Amino acid sequence: AQSVTQPDIHITVSEGASLELRCNYSYGATPYLFWYVQSPGQGLQLLLKYFSGDTLVQGIKGFEAEFKRSQSSFNLRKPSVHWSDAAEYFCAVGAVKAAGNKLTFGGGTRVLVKP
């Protein structure tokens, strides 16, 4: 069974500082990997995704993530955080060949941005 772990429940970062959110997954084959962001009371917005190829993927809002197969990780980074980045971030894994390709999400990391 696939699973996702986001070790950090909360992260506080100063505006302008860099941000890194950790994600570790467990899946027996080639995964699809995603990062979503959720603002309070809102649905999920896709930031970026990894299917294959270049292990460093660029997303929206200046985010990037690096897939490291040897570490089963897909960490999200942003060089300089803006106050509007305060939200909850979810890492998710989807099976490449399983029927339906349902997503399995981590527990989320809530990011607080200090002025």
Partner 1 sequence: DTGVSQDPRHKITKRGQNVTFRCDPISEHNRLYWYRQTLGQGPEFLTYFQNEAQLEKSRLLSDRFSAERPKGSFSTLEIQRTEQGDSAMYLCASSLRDRGRVKGNEQFFGPGTRLTVL
For residue 35, what are the β-bridge partners?
A: 48, 91
Smallest distance from partner 1 to CB 50, Å: 9
Token pair listed for 55: 């292990």
Smallest distance from partner 1 to CB 101, Å: 4
Closest to partner 1 by CB, 52 vs 70, is 52
Smallest distance from partner 1 to CB 16, Å: 28
Closest to partner 1 by CB, 13 vs 103, is 103
Token pair listed for 31: 């995964």
Smallest distance from partner 1 to CB 115, Å: 25
Q: Which helix (H) or strand (E) holds 24?
A: strand 24-26
Residue ranges binding partner 1 (CB under 8 A)? 4, 32, 34, 36, 41-46, 49, 51, 90, 92, 94, 99-108
Provide the 3-class DSSP secondary structure of residue 101.
coil
- The number of beta carbons lying within 10 Å of the beta carbon of residue 25 is 19
Closest to partner 1 by CB, 78 vs 94, is 94
Cα→Cα distances 42→87, 91, 102, 107, 109, Å: 10, 17, 20, 16, 16
Closest to partner 1 by CB, 34 vs 63, is 34
